[in-house]
Amino acid sequence: MDSSETKTYYQNVVVMRHGDRIDHFDLTWVKTAETPWDPPLINEGLARAFHTGRTFRNLLPFPIHRVFVSPFLRCVQTASEVVTALCAVDYDPDSDSQSSIAVGSIDPSKVKVSIEYGLCETLRREAISPDVVPKDGIFRFDVPQLEAMLPSGTLDRTFEPVYKELPQWEETVMGGRSRYKQIIKALADQYPSENLLSLTHAEGVATSVSEFLEDTAVAEVDYCAYSELRRPISWKNESFTAGNFEVLTKSGQNGITYFAKEQLR
């Protein structure tokens, strides 16, 4: 196509919550945990994540090209399951396999994965109990160790994170929502010709609905719930113009419940 011609299409962005975390099911876990602020998934959470990845592969009308992940362990574990399902070779859509353990091999060229600090949990006491916060207020992640948990060959080592570090502890509610909105748009702008999956936390998924669907309040975001967004992209003369995001997910779909704010008055 001539560079002076205009090419238009939709860019799709999926924003997903992690799977079931252990501290919500085993209340004694935090007592002996080395990092009680960073719980892993339970087996049911791993299975739910893998099933969601299969759902993406079976039902989404578009391929996912890139996955961006919060550095919290539960999100990285969720990403590993989802990406394995997306990249599985000899894929059987009717299989009843419940986790990535059943996958013999993957094609890592299908999806590229990167850790992005901007997708992290909101660092405030409503999201993380002050009882488990590091004494110095600094949340430390072993990023190479987390990257090693991702399916072999899927890590994009060329990716430049939007956020180079975590926000400060006691982040405000509005500060967290502003960050999530900004990171969703920034990642989409960085890869305008690709469809993205951002793997984050409940507040991040809620923000992906409330910030792009006017006068909306989100009431519930289940484990592995996800929103679907899209926006029009126009390319001309090697530059692009992006339209506004449209929220495709209806209330009650994909594990998300929301209301028009006027219903709450």
pLDDT reading at 92 higher than 80? no
Q: How confident is the model at residue 263 (pLDDT cuts 50, 70, 90)?
A: low
Q: How confident is the model at residue 3 (pLDDT cuts 50, 70, 90)?
A: low
Nearest alpha carbon to residue 227 among 56, 20, 10, 50: 56
Q: What is d(CA 225, CA 218) in angstroms, rounded to the nearest whole number?
A: 12
Nearest alpha carbon to residue 78 among 11, 15, 144: 15
Paired with 129 in beta bridges are none
Q: What is the mean pLDDT of residues 72-100?
A: 86
User: What's the pLDDT at 161?
Assistant: 96
Q: What is the mean pLDDT of residues 82-100?
A: 79
Instruction: Indicate the pTM of the whole model.
Output: 0.94
Q: What is the mean pLDDT of residues 135-158?
A: 96
Of 6-10, 54-58, 91-95, 148-152, the poorest mean pLDDT is in 91-95
Q: Are 151 and 193 in contact (CB under 8 A)?
A: no
User: What's the pLDDT at 16?
Assistant: 98
Q: What is d(CA 92, CA 88) in angstroms, rounded to the nearest whole number?
A: 9
User: What's the pLDDT at 261?
Assistant: 82
